[in-house]
Amino acid sequence: MSVNQRIKPITTEIKENLTIGGCDTLELVKKYGSPLYVIDELTLRTICREYIDAFKNYPNITVLYASKALATSAIFKIVTSEGLGLDVVSGGEIYTAYKAGIPMDKLMFNGNNKQEWELETAVDVGVGRFSVDNFNDINLLGKITESRNKMVEVLLRITPGIDCHTHEYIQTGHLDSKFGFDLTQIDEAVSLILSKYPKISIRGLHAHIGSQIFDSAGYVDEAKILVSELVRINKKYNLSMDELNLGGGLGVKYTENDTPPDVKDIAEIVINTLNQEFDKNKLKDIKLYIEPGRSIISTSGVTLYTVGAIKQVPKGTKYVSVDGGMADNPRPAMYQAEYVCDVANKMNFEDKEIVTIAGRYCESGDILIKDILLPKLQAGDVICVYNTGAYNYSMASNYNRVQKIGMVLVNNSQSDIIVYRETLDDLISHDNIPDRLN
């Protein structure tokens, strides 16, 4: 069973209380405060190794961690120490990697509206690959490379026209998408680069068909389209492109209803499909990139909350409010995402009832988990929501002027802060009152 097929971190145990990474979750709350993001290092390292092992039969592959899922200096250090590179989508993610000492040639810069300063930064620090998404990317990169007299190597991102049957907001490979060149635009993009920008070297093609994918058929179709386009473009323009990036998107198990494929199964399908296409087209030595994000980080993360107000609606829902919610986990409000949880200090209690876990924020839609069977709760109980490593901290906000929460890394009974909890002074640190208002 791959890590992405688990709901809970692999070190999860029930002792007197719920423990993760050998650390008592109640003690973590006591030491670091609540709410609290917790990342289990062993789970994270294990899934990195599973990806490396699953694709070991492909001779030339780079696994890129899709940083948008969770970008912190410590996370970058861990995943790169396990042999992964980084897929980055902003100047901030590039800067985080740069300051963390990550070799810049391990980065691929992706994104549909890269800013000029971001591209300048990426060129200046030596980012290894650029995924060119549109004509604006081409023109900006062309101008920057000429002014700096630097070569860059790029992959052209295409929209392959694949519906991966996921949530509408996280489909990125269908035809009507903001991402990538439509297949009818590829020739124009190639011609523009070859005719006008000699310092842009086209190395290959990139596609990404979506997120939280359970159906392997999409990867098969994507691989066939990418190989077909690579062969066609090479022949038409006398190029020697030799790199393909299949993106990421493998799903994870948030609830018992989720059935994501095993990483090894996906790897076998991808490798077999590519080898068949390569043999058919007499291709050799094609470098492959994949860029998993959610499936790398999600399962290793949990969020700890403390119960506060409890409201029983007469003949209706029993709401249990916690000290966090949509500002630290916007996914239920945005995507109708579902989670499961445990009561960390009542793991063996038998007296249970159905409740709805509500957040503290001033929105009726701030509901974390609807209608879940839990031990009877009271103020001060600690709730552990599982599988919150991906897109929780990344999408967090200061809604209602509440401080962003901290994050700790646990391993072998040791805990370390990797993101400090914001203070009230942090909240107002960028505010300014014009003199005329005083």
Residues identified as active-site: 362
* Torsion sign across C-alpha atoms 340, 35, 21, 249: positive
H or E segment to which residue 289 belongs = strand 287-290
Neighbours of 53 (CB within 10 A): 12
The amino acid present at 201, given as its one-letter code, is S
Q: Do 204 and 198 meet the contact criterion of CB atoms below 8 Å apart?
A: no
* Cα 401 to Cα 52, 332, 431, distances in angstroms: 42, 20, 12
Strands 301-312, 382-386: pairing is antiparallel
The conformation of residue 390, written as its DSSP 8-state character, comes to: S
Neighbours of 431 (CB within 10 A): 6
* Cα 65 to Cα 68, 137, 147, 431, distances in angstroms: 9, 22, 31, 34
Q: If you write DSSP's letter for every residue of 34-98 in order, what string do you get?
A: SSEEEEEHHHHHHHHHHHHHHTTTSSSEEEEEEGGG---HHHHHHHHHTT-EEEE-SHHHHHHHH
Spell out the residues 6+ positions from residue 48 whose beta carbon is closer than 8 angstroms to its own.
63, 65, 78, 79, 82, 83, 84, 296
The conformation of residue 116, written as its DSSP 8-state character, comes to: H
**Rounded distance between C-alpha atoms, residue 360 and residue 34, angstroms:** 13
- Residues composing the chain: 438
314 upstream amide cis, omega within 30 of 0:
no
